[in-house]
Amino acid sequence: MKKYFLLLTISLLAISIFAKTLEVCNSCEWTTITAAIKAAEKGDQLIIKAGIYKEGKIIVNKSLTISGEDYPILDGENKGEILTVLADNVTIEGLQIQNVGTSYMEDRAGIRIKRAKNFTIKNNRLYNTFFGIYLEHADKGIVQNNELIGEAVEEMSSGNAIHLWYCKNILIEKNIVRHHRDGIYLEFVDNSKVRFNISEDNLRYGLHFMFSNNDDYFKNEFRRNGAGVAVMFSKKINMWENAFEYNWGKASYGLLLKEIYDADIKNNVFKENTIGIYVEGSTRINYLDNDFVRNGWAIKISGGCLDNIISSNNFLYNTFDLSLNSSVNNNEFSGNFWSAYTGYDLDKNGIGDIPYRPVKLFNYVVNKTPEAMVLLRSLFIDIINFSEKVSPVFTPKKVVDNRPVMQKIEHIELFSLN
Amino acid sequence: MFKILKYSFFDLIRSRWTYIYCAFYALLTLSLFWLSSDLSKVIISLMNVILVLVPLIATIFGIMYYYNSREFTELLLAQPIKRTHIFLGQYLGVATSLSLSILIGVGLPFITYGIFGSAEIWNYFTLLLVGVFLSFIFSAIAFFIALKNENRIKGFGLAILVWLFFAVIYDGLFLLVLAMFSDYPLESFALGASMFNPIDLSRILILLKLDISALMGYTGAVFHKFLGSGLGLGIAFLSLVLWVVLPVLGIQRVSRRKDF
């Protein structure tokens, strides 16, 4: 044991002795980052002083720590990719990377990690980078505290802020991403965590999962994106305590689920989205303790969704609480609070004595003939909704909350930032 | 005509019912503000009430006023005044006093809550404009029906039926047609059909101005495109104006020929 400890001490000492620090600035020994990387050896630290470095296509092929002092600017002058990391154990911090330039031929990025492990990308600012941080075939990395602000105008000619492709064990936290195509994009990414991020004003999705399994995302904020979050063709995704807000538009939703299995949607807030959650072909999903506040549709389920549990949620002032278009339904609704519930609780046990039916007749009508939507909020619709409520004929009989809660449910916070 | 208008107007202004009507709107608007500070939500709630109540009250007010002031009308008819002027004057008196009640009842609370400078101001103007239009339209229809029918019960029943038709039955038929022909593209039909009902047209005009239009999907988009253009909006307002003008022409025609 002692021998090992000694060995460890010696090796640590060796690293601290042999690892050099190389400074890069206008008056330093190295004036370009490329030159410094060439001169550096494995384990060295590059300190880049404040200034503008008009260098693109920098290739990091050694295990280095590249740190910026006072945010030196790496300007790609719209000519191409800026930093490409090909080695393991690389740290990139404190840089301002800008102007990658749009390309229709290649996915240029501000920082690209390619087939590397154990990297850290933190405290950087990336402005107007086509793709911001692009990880491909990466493993065990951290992307933390970065600010990525793009200038996306249309989906065709824009890239994603943080893009992951075939990655494992990645932690993406406390980043701010704005004005890209997708805020955070994960394709074939397993065992990763996305947390405490803010993703706003992106053209397509705030966060986008494709073919990714066993991932968690929690405590993120998604606002004013084309659509909040899309989770597609993935398994075992945990979605906790996120805020999906103001995704308002003709084809917008807070959360899109498509072909998802065994997911957990807990303690999220869906506020003022055209559609809170849009679900297609998703099975064994638990919707627990969420707040749906003033959405057009709180949940819209279309086809082939089985064995879902929708329980202990607050449905507050949504235009429609629920919309379904299939009659086959074994999803369970129970113990939710519905602001539209008009029942009573005679035995004072906190649970309404008459069941609540979240699907209104108008909902059913609109599903059959979408044009009928022009009758929204007309007196006639109120009357038929009321008569249907009194004696249900058309609305699905099984879609019913038998234990509607009388009071708004207070949710307990699961995670905190510190 | 103006003199009779003035007389009817002041007669109604002194009436208890006008005050109650006005106070009702003021109270409603104030309580809505008290419950929610979101202007957009207040406008939606007010719209729901205005679209149902304004036509109903205008219909009842119009028909009652005509029948109640019948003796006075007969007295006026003995004077050297043009017949059409008498009835149009009375009608305009009723319509303006009703509109004024709405403008004051809904308008004052809004002003005190600082509508000026808010982004919602145009939606709010649309709401008021729609309220005024509906008052004019439905009191004109009521006057027309009253002139046609000597029998009070029959006239009253008919007027209520007309209100019921526009407020409820029309939408039911509309929905029925939409459901029956759902295999066909019905956007243009829906657009056209809504022009023939002033209540529907008013509702759509307001809804499209509000955020809620995003819910209305493809059909909503078609409406938005049409009513968003200057021409579409012009046609919509022309349709509302026609809804006032047609019953008024009816009043004129009937009053000229009517044998008292």
DSSP A363-386: HHHHHH-GGGGGGTT-HHHHHHHH
Contact A376 B212 (CB under 8 A): yes
pLDDT, position A291: 95
Is the pLDDT at A338 greater than 90, yes or no? yes
Please determine, for residue B214, whether its predicted confidence score (pLDDT) is greater than 80: no
**Which pLDDT band, with edges at 50, 70 and 90, does B224 fall under?**
confident
The answer to whether B35 faces chain A, any CB pair under 8 Å, is no
Confidence (pLDDT) at A12: 53
Q: What is the pLDDT of residue A5?
A: 62
Tens-digit pLDDT profile for residues A210-229: 999 999 999 999 999 989 99
Picking from B172, B182, B223, the nearest residue to A374 by CB comes out as B223
Distance CA A219, CA A411 (A): 14
Contact status of B182 with chain A (Cβ, < 8 Å):
yes
Closest CA to A60 of A103, A97, A16: A97
* Chain B hits for A378, Cβ within 8 Å: 51, 171, 199-200, 203
What's the whole-number mean pLDDT along residues A391-396? Answer: 81
- Give me the pLDDT at residue A6, please: 61
Q: Do B175 and A368 touch (CB under 8 A)?
A: no
Structure tokens at A46: 């590059």
Whether the CB-CB separation of B163 and B138 falls below 8 Å is answered with: yes
Res A121 pLDDT > 80: yes
Average pLDDT over residues B89-106: 91
Per-residue pLDDT for A14 more than 60? no
Determine what percent of chain A falls in helix, strand and coil, rounding each to the nearest 5.
15, 40, 45
Is B212 near chain A, with CB under 8 Å?
Answer: yes
Res. B212: pLDDT tops 80: no
User: What pLDDT, on the 0 to 100 scale, is given for residue B213?
Assistant: 66
**How far is residue A159's CA from residue A161's CA, in Å, rounded to a whole number?**
7
Q: Tell which of A318, A374, A379 to mutate to test the B interface (max B CBs under 10 Å).
A: A374
Kindly report which listed range (A406-415, B189-198, B214-223) carries the lowest average pLDDT score. Answer: B214-223
What angle is formed at CA A100 by the lines to CA A96 and CA A102, rounded to 5 degrees? 150
Chain mean pLDDT for chain A: 89
- The verdict on a CB contact (< 8 Å) between A371 and B207 is no
* Domain parsing of chain B, residue ranges: 2-257
Reply yes or no on whether the pLDDT at B198 is more than 90: yes
Core vs surface per residue A188-210: b (16+ CB within 10 A) or e: bbbbbbbbbbbbbbbbbbbbbbb
Residues within 8 A of A (CB atoms), B 220-239 only: 220-221, 223
Q: List the domain boundaries for chain A.
A: 20-203, 229-359+396-418
Q: Cα separation of A218 and A193, whole Å?
A: 8
Q: What is the pLDDT of residue A2?
A: 61
Whether pLDDT at B220 is above 80: no
Find the distance separating the first CA and the last CA of chain B, reported in whole Å. Answer: 19
Distance from CA of B221 to the nearest CA of A (A): 8
Q: What is the reported pLDDT for A17?
A: 55
Tell whether B179 is within 8 A of chain A (Cβ): yes
Average pLDDT over residues A114-122: 95
- Stretch A274-297: mean pLDDT: 92
- Please give the pLDDT value at position B45: 85
Positive or negative CA dihedral for B85, B86, B89, B95? negative
Dist CA B224 CA B208 (whole Å): 6
The pLDDT score that the predictor gives to residue B12 is: 79
Element (H, E) at A16: helix A2-18
Q: Is A242 helix (H, G, I), strand (E, B) or coil?
A: coil
CB contact under 8 A, A368 and B179: yes
Which band of pLDDT confidence, cut at 50, 70 and 90, is reported for residue A231? very high
Using a CB-CB distance cutoff of 8 angstroms, which residues of chain B are in contact with residue A376?
207, 212, 215-216
CB nearest B178 (choices: A369, A380, A383): A369
pTM of the model: 0.84
Tell me the fold of A20-203: Pectate Lyase C-like (2.160.20)
Task: Give the nearest chain A residue to B194 (CA atoms).
Answer: A374
- pLDDT bin (cut points 50, 70, 90) of residue A416 is confident
Determine whether the interchain pair A381/B221 forms a contact, defined as Cβ–Cβ distance below 8 Å. Answer: no
| Least confident segment among A237-246, A273-282, B37-46, B97-106 | B37-46
Q: Kindly report each contact of residues A9-16 with a partner whose C-beta sits within 8 Å and lies 24 or more positions away, as own/partner.
A: A15/A43
Residue B135: pLDDT over 60 = yes
The pLDDT of residue A368 is above 90: no
| pLDDT tier at A288, thresholds 50, 70, 90 | very high
How many Cβ atoms are within 10 Å of B142's Cβ, its own excluded?
A: 31
Answer yes or no: do B211 and A248 touch at CB < 8 A.
yes
Q: For the residues of chain B, what is the DSSP string, one character each?
A: -HHHHHHHHHHHHTSHHHHHHHHHHHHHHHHHHHH---HHHHHHHHHHHHHHHHHHHHHHHHHHHHHHTHHHHHHHHTSSS-HHHHHHHHHHHHHHHHHHHHHHHHHHHHHHTT-TTSTTHHHHHHHHHHHHHHHHHHHHHHHHHHHH-S-HHHHHHHHHHHHHIIIIIHHHHHHHHHHHTTTS--HHHHHHHHHT-HHHHHHHHHHHHSGGGGGGHHHHHHHHHHHHSHHHHHHHHHHHHHHHHHHHHHHHHHHHH---
Which uninterrupted H or E stretch holds A14? helix A2-18
- Inform me whether the pLDDT recorded for B63 exceeds 90: yes
Alpha carbon of A256 to those of A264, A380, B221: distances in Å?
14, 32, 22
Confidence at residue A53, expressed as pLDDT on a 0 to 100 scale: 92
Is pLDDT of A11 > 60? Answer: no
In chain B, residues with a C-beta closer than 8 Å to the C-beta of A373 are 215-217, 219-220
pLDDT of residue A396: 78
Residue B146 has pLDDT above 60, yes or no: yes
Residues of chain B numbered 114-173 and touching chain A (CB < 8 Å): 167-172
Interface A–B counts its CB contacts (< 8 A) at: 82
Do A206 and A185 meet the contact criterion of CB atoms below 8 Å apart?
no
| Min Cα–Cα distance to chain B from A290, Å | 22
Say yes or no to pLDDT of B78 above 90: no
Predicted pLDDT at A37: 92
The whole-angstrom distance between B241's CA and the closest CA on chain A is 22
> What CA–CA distance (Å, rounded) separates A388 from A340?
15
Highest mean pLDDT among A231-235, A301-305, B45-49: A231-235
Average pLDDT over residues A117-134: 94
State whether B171 and A377 contact (CB < 8 Å). Answer: no
Specify the pLDDT at position A178.
Answer: 94
CB contact under 8 A, B175 and A274: no
Name which of A17-21, A27-31, A375-379, B54-58 the model is least confident about: A17-21
Which residues 6+ apart lie within 8 Å of B164 measured at CB? none
Q: How far apart are CA B213 and CA B224, in angstroms?
A: 8
Nearest to B214 among A248, A370, A383 (CB): A248
Phi, psi of A141 (to 5 degrees): -130, 165
Asked if B182's CB is within 8 angstroms of A369's CB, the reply is yes
Q: What chain B residue is nearest to A246 in terms of C-alpha separation?
A: B211
